């Protein structure tokens, strides 16, 4: 079962993924550059088995969903990922502290 913090982390990732998808049709025009970046991000995520959910110890039960969503996030670039990891790292540190308290 996920903790409240786990739900918050998922919400942050979900919003980030949605904002990425919305960029494809921003201002009513189809953005091929954004689609290309998404395809490259997803290919890289699959090729490297990158999965942000596994990294956060919240793996998907449906295979490959974590890779696809991670690829969408990767398509936003290094600055975005750095900021996302900064936010998620704070949450992960709290989760780790709580796990060690339970032991």
The DSSP annotation for 46-88 comes to HHHT--HHHHTT---SSTTHHHHHHHHHHTT-HHHHHHHHHHH
The pLDDT score that the predictor gives to residue 86 is 84
**pLDDT tens digits, 33-60:** 999 999 999 999 999 999 999 988 888 8
**Cβ-contact 38, 70 below 8 angstroms:** no
For residue 43, the 8-state DSSP code is H
Nearest alpha carbon to residue 52 among 6, 3, 101, 1: 6
The sign of the dihedral angle between the CA atoms of 67, 48, 12, 95 is positive
The pLDDT score that the predictor gives to residue 72 is 96
Strands (E), 8-97: none
Q: What mean pLDDT comes out for the span 57-70?
A: 92
Say how many C-beta atoms besides its own lie within 10 A of residue 80's C-beta.
15
**pLDDT tens digits, 16-25:** 999 999 999 9
Contact residues for 77 (Cβ-Cβ < 8 A; gap 6+): 37
């Amino acid at each position: 079962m996920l903790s409240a913090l786990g739900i918050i982390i998922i919400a942050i990732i979900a919003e980030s993924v949605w904002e990425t998808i919305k960029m494809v049709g921003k201002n009513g025009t189809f953005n091929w550059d954004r689609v290309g970046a998404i395809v490259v991000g997803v290919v890289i995520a699959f090729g490297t088995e990158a999965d942000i959910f596994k990294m956060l110890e919240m793996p998907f039960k449906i295979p490959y969903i974590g890779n696809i969503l991670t690829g969408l996030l990767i398509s936003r670039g290094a600055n975005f990922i750095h900021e996302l990891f900064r936010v998620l790292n704070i949450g992960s540190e709290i989760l780790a502290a709580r796990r060690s308290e339970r032991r």
